[in-house]
Structure 1
Amino acid sequence: MIPLPLARIAEITSGALTGMADPRAVVRGPVVIDSRDVRPGALFVAIKGARVDGHDFAAQAVQAGAVAVLAARPVDAPAVIVGDTVRAMTELATAVCADLPATTVIGVTGSAGKTTTKDLLARLTARVGPTVAPVESFNNEIGHPLTVLKAGEETRYLVLELSARNVGHIAHLTRVAPPSIGVVLNVGTAHLGVFGSRETIARAKGELVEALPADGVAVLNADDPLVAGMAERTAARVTWFGRGESATVRAENVVVDERGRASFTLRTPSGAAPVTLRLYGEHAVENALAAAAAGYELGLPVAVIAEELSEAEPRSRWRMEVTDRPDGVTVINDAYNANPDSMRAAFAALDAFAGSRRRLAVIGALRELGEESDALNEELGRLAGSSGLAALLVVGGADAGPVLAGALAAAGRAADPVPADVLAGAQGAPDGAGGPPGDGAGGPPGTGAAYDTGAPGAAGGTYGALAGTATLVSHAADVTQAAAALSALLVPGDVVLLKGPRAAGLERVAEALLGGDGR
């Protein structure tokens, strides 16, 4: 960040220096919220969370080299005392960004694909000049200013990911770092329960293009009608990406290989070049096109854009991470987050990837879908149940019920109700009436059983367990049970997809299958 004396930080944040803080002491960065990340010259921002209070680590942060602590109450260390540390950090980021007139700010938003697009775009801008971009998905009221505060006088591009949990959130983030280029990927159903409708989601996402200046550029998805409609909401020039002929930057002749990776011809007004992605899933094409369109607006030659896109590897964790075990089992870890749109994309990727190999999936029920939650989760179950899976494990408590019901319906077992104790997350389930119970999630399905008892210790049990051709539909109360059940089901050569909302913690299933941190 820009070197700032504590006196200037106190002025920006309307704070007061305490604890023998030297007003002439200079913070040279980084600005951190975790005392373990402190480096000499840092500013430690103490945030009180639900379980941990950063103020308790103030002295430790200074001992590790922090110049001072940005705190909401007196601490046993040199500090700048403010009313609200998150708001003060935001004010500091706003001031720092305003002092970087040579830095071009690029914002990326959308219901799905923000992080992948941000990673690709940061790779492209790095070809032109020093670039700062967020780690993982630092895209909210805390992660956004933290990323901005990494920028310094040498930074030429600041590539930011902007998320919205309600109308007004993106507008707030754009005031911290006013963008010159705004990229809108899509309008889906993520957080539908919070927003109420896709139109309201579009209203929130469109705040990015509304913030653009007249000499800025809005990079919009020509294939998404709600995104295309945002062209009327900006004073900036509009450039289009997509697959249709109307797109300024588009993909032609898209082909997906046996590993689910797409190749295409990148077409721009100044020429074309071949792209062979190393990212998994055909949905990565749209992310690549969005990054390409923004890169094209920055003056990058199409050949350079194609080269960078073709060399890009996944950078952020738990997003279509593909790992092959020594026994030939392939684990697709896409467990970072999920919504109806990304679920469909993940199962499409699984279909392309698996080919004739046996496929399995572990999923969690979708959240924040409001009144549509049961219907959309049942639709998810139908999607999974009709995807040619050998086995489907649904993780969760009562929220797993609609997913299980949908999967059963897809398997032709609509007459078999999901037991009430499973919907309540209770332990165990009665044996099936159609025949002797099998080994449930811990082994092969029983013959003719309407549902089985499941593996020892498993919550719920196994449903729709038809011998031979039908999908084994199972329920597990948590990821520990899911990992144990899945491990027992896997045979060499299988492909397994892990996909669910972040709160489901399905990355821990990958850790159990792969060892270590799941990679």
Structure 2
Amino acid sequence: MLDLTLTEIAEALQGELVITDAAEAAGYSPATVVNGTVDTDSRLIGEGDVFVAKRGEFDDGHRFVGSAVEAGAALVVVEHPVELAVPQIVVADSVLALGYFATDVVARVRASGDLKIVGITGSNGKTTTKNLLRAILERVGETVAPRDSFNNEVGAPLTMLKLTPSTRFLVAEMGASGKGEITRLIRMAKPDVGVVLTVGLAHAGEFGGIETTLATKTEMVQDLEPGDVAVLNRDDARVAGMAEKTAAQVLWFGLSDSAAVRATDIDATASGTSFVLHLPDGSAHAVRFAVLGEHHVMNALAAAAAAHVLGVPAVDIVSGLEVVTRAERWRMEVMGGRDGVRVINDAYNASPDSMAAALKTIALIATPEQRTTAVLGEMSELGPYSVEEHDRIGRMVVRFNIHRLIVVGEGARAIHLAAEHEGSWGGEAIFVETADEAYALIEADTRPDDLILVKSSNSAGLRFLGDRIAEAHSLGGETA
């Protein structure tokens, strides 16, 4: 965080600075400078940090103020006064105050330096693209990007508050569960480059339909100015239509010949994907991309396009892409290895598009002699599309000739039913209620060189099942 006085922080938060007698006795005053990390998780607070007490759906951060102070917090942000030996800033709403604070810090860094901001949104691929772009930009300057999937009204501001006077690039992952949320994030940190990856059925139930999803994702480009650049997916018709909704310049990426940043000669294997990257200057560059799954090439193209706009040399774009070995924890993460057994744990998020891409990946990379198993759980937040889309995935398992399907949980039962009703399939479909049952089935019949995909939405909890299977088949591991 920037070096700011308590008075400056209180003004930014639009709150009231309270320094109790105990805090004053400890040496605090309105002129005290604070520059620690800002967080809403008291477990992550250290010496000199700022703890923001946020009310949540299931808990209240005010219960952990004491723990944060014991851990070394130099300042707490609260919605009601508490008796503390450190300063506190009292605000009406902690989440709104975080946004005010982030807006102020971004404005200060912009005014004093050469900060460039990239905003990334889309129904799928945001976190992977963010990680790839960070790997590229870090090669040429100080870069701030979110940890994990910090892309909402809390996570995005916390990332922005990590800016320093020497930060050159901010990569802001911007997610939403409803209209107006991306606009709110953009107004904290307006991008110089706005990236839109896809518009699909992920979270369509929450949004209320695909048209609302489209309108929400379009918010990324609507506030861009003529000197900004919208990096858009030429192969997604809904994203391509956003070119008419922005005043910014448009840079297309995709597999289409009309995309200025595109990939050719794509070759997906079990060790990654190789392709030739074409840039707008007419140059072509061979890329050996270690992230598993042909679908991640599109994320690589989006990251390459954004980096090109920011003036990053092609050699750094390629080396940045090649240094990343996995999309993210629990995203197409290759694990295991003992007796040739490979587990692809992709159970952090799931939408119809990402589920289809994962199934296509194991079908593509499996050798003719290799047995494939798909362990699939529910795709959440699909609303009225849920049964139809789970049914479609079950039929896709058959079309890709996956050898064994294990469906976990009542929410995913339609996958199992669809696979069973699809004709002329020599594979096997099994339905179980729990992850423990799925684990027992896997361990009772795992053969050398098996390729096992574990895929579901985060809420289904199958990422831990993926870890458990992988641990049982890790090199030197023990069966649980």
* TM-score in terms of structure 1 length: 0.85
Distance in 1 (CA, whole Å) between partners of 2:35 and 2:329 is 29
Q: How far off is 1:313 after superposition?
A: 1.8
Aligned residue identity for 2:380: R
Q: How far off is 1:260 after superposition?
A: 5.8
Aligned residue number for residue 228 of structure 1 = 240
Aligned residue number for residue 5 of structure 1 = 5
Cα 1:355/1:46, change in 2 over 3 Å: same
1:514 maps to which of 467, 470, 477: 470
Aligned residue number for residue 261 of structure 1 = 272
1:364 maps to which of 367, 371, 377: 377
Other structure's SS at 2:183 match = helix
* TM-score in terms of structure 2 length: 0.92
1:58 corresponds to 2:65: yes
Other structure's SS at 2:340 match = coil
Q: How far off is 1:472 after superposition?
A: 2.2
1:480 corresponds to 2:436: yes
Equivalent runs, 1:196-235 vs 2, <5 Å: 196-235=208-247
Other structure's SS at 2:277 match = strand
Distance in 2 (CA, whole Å) between partners of 1:31 and 1:313 is 29
Aligned residue number for residue 115 of structure 1 = 127
Q: How far off is 1:386 after superposition?
A: 3.4
Equivalent runs, 1:400-479 vs 2, <5 Å: 400-411=412-423, 470-479=426-435
Aligned residue number for residue 455 of structure 2 = 499
Q: How far off is 1:263 after superposition?
A: 1.2
Maintained 8 Å contact 2:379/2:412? no
Other structure's SS at 2:447 match = coil
Equivalent runs, 1:302-341 vs 2, <5 Å: 302-314=314-326, 316-341=328-353
Aligned residue identity for 2:276: T
- After alignment, is 314-323 or 300-309 more displaced? 300-309
Aligned residue number for residue 396 of structure 1 = 409
Maintained 8 Å contact 1:48/1:55? yes
Aligned residue identity for 2:469: L
Relative to its length, the structure with more helix (as a share) is: 2
Q: How far off is 1:277 after superposition?
A: 0.4
1:145 maps to which of 154, 157, 163: 157
Maintained 8 Å contact 2:291/2:327? no
Distance in 1 (CA, whole Å) between partners of 2:239 and 2:344 is 30
* Aligned length, in residue pairs: 460
Distance in 2 (CA, whole Å) between partners of 1:280 and 1:211 is 34
Maintained 8 Å contact 2:380/2:459? no
Distance in 2 (CA, whole Å) between partners of 1:400 and 1:279 is 27
Distance in 2 (CA, whole Å) between partners of 1:504 and 1:484 is 18
Maintained 8 Å contact 2:408/2:432? yes
Q: How far off is 1:315 after superposition?
A: 5.4
Structure having the higher Rg:
1
Distance in 2 (CA, whole Å) between partners of 1:316 and 1:76 is 41
Residue by residue over 1:182-221, the C-alpha shift from the partner in whole angstroms, topping out at 9 and shown as x without a partner, is: 0111111111223343332221111111121221111111
Aligned residue number for residue 76 of structure 2 = 69
Maintained 8 Å contact 1:19/1:75? no
Distance in 1 (CA, whole Å) between partners of 2:64 and 2:363 is 48
Maintained 8 Å contact 2:336/2:471? no
Aligned residue number for residue 155 of structure 1 = 167
Residue by residue over 1:59-112, the C-alpha shift from the partner in whole angstroms, topping out at 9 and shown as x without a partner, is: 221121111111112334232111111111111111111111121110011111
Distance in 1 (CA, whole Å) between partners of 2:415 and 2:82 is 49
After TM superposition, the runs of 4+ consecutive aligned structure 1 residues lying more than 4 A away are none
Aligned residue number for residue 296 of structure 2 = 284
Distance in 1 (CA, whole Å) between partners of 2:159 and 2:316 is 27
Other structure's SS at 1:159 match = strand
Cα 1:76/1:60, change in 2 over 3 Å: farther
1:14 corresponds to 2:14: yes
What are structure 1's unaligned runs of at least 5 residues? 413-468
Q: How far off is 1:411 after superposition?
A: 4.8
